[in-house]
Amino acid sequence: MSSIEKTIKCTNSYLHMNWEEIKSDSQKVYPASSITLFMMDTESGKPATHWVDKAYKNYAFKEECMFNCYVSIDLTDEFNAQKKDLDFADIEEYFTTKLREVGICHIVARITTDIGLNLELYVDNVENSIDKFNEIEDDPNRLVNFNCEIRDDADWENVEGLLN
């Protein structure tokens, strides 16, 4: 059997499973990362390094994880500025770990800004994710202050330009 036939057979087997069965297997839900680094100017024109996980370009379960969470972290914020050793990877891990406590959470991209960073996340359970974001925000020991916008995005249009 060719690798294409194996892929088609494997993909077709997912069609006969419901989302609850699929998400119980992290190897099916979370593709092997394929991080691409790229340079792009910030709004002020400064060059900055960003990354996107290209493994999500043809992700089979976009409709099941249709809620885009656009998280913005302003490192000049008074609360955040007090944290001298903040690392972007630690911030990413903080949010994904917290959100994975209540559902599926994909981190698709990190965009560096003039004042911090933006994360593009996708989740499957919007209610639980909103509750978790509120819990994080209310925690006086949270890692960072942040803003979050959540939108329905079944086709992952918010990250389409990054993934292509």
pLDDT digits (tens, 9 = 90+) for 97-149: 999 999 999 999 999 999 999 999 999 999 999 999 999 999 999 999 999 99
Cα–Cα distance measured from residue 36 to residue 113, given in angstroms and rounded to the nearest whole number: 18
Beta strands in the chain (DSSP E): 35-41, 47-53, 67-74, 105-112, 116-123, 147-152
Q: What is the pLDDT of residues 58-81, one digit of tens each?
A: 999 999 999 999 999 999 999 999
Count CB atoms within 10 A of the CB of residue 156. Answer: 21
Host H or E run for residue 28: helix 26-29
110: Cα separation from own chain's centroid: 8
* Domain 25-163, CATH: 3.30.70
Average the pLDDT over 14-37 and give the result. 79
* pLDDT band per the 50, 70, 90 thresholds, residue 17: low
Name the maximum alpha-carbon separation found in the chain. Answer: 59
Provide the pLDDT for residue 23.
75
- What pTM was estimated for this model as a whole? 0.86
The domains of the chain are located at 25-163
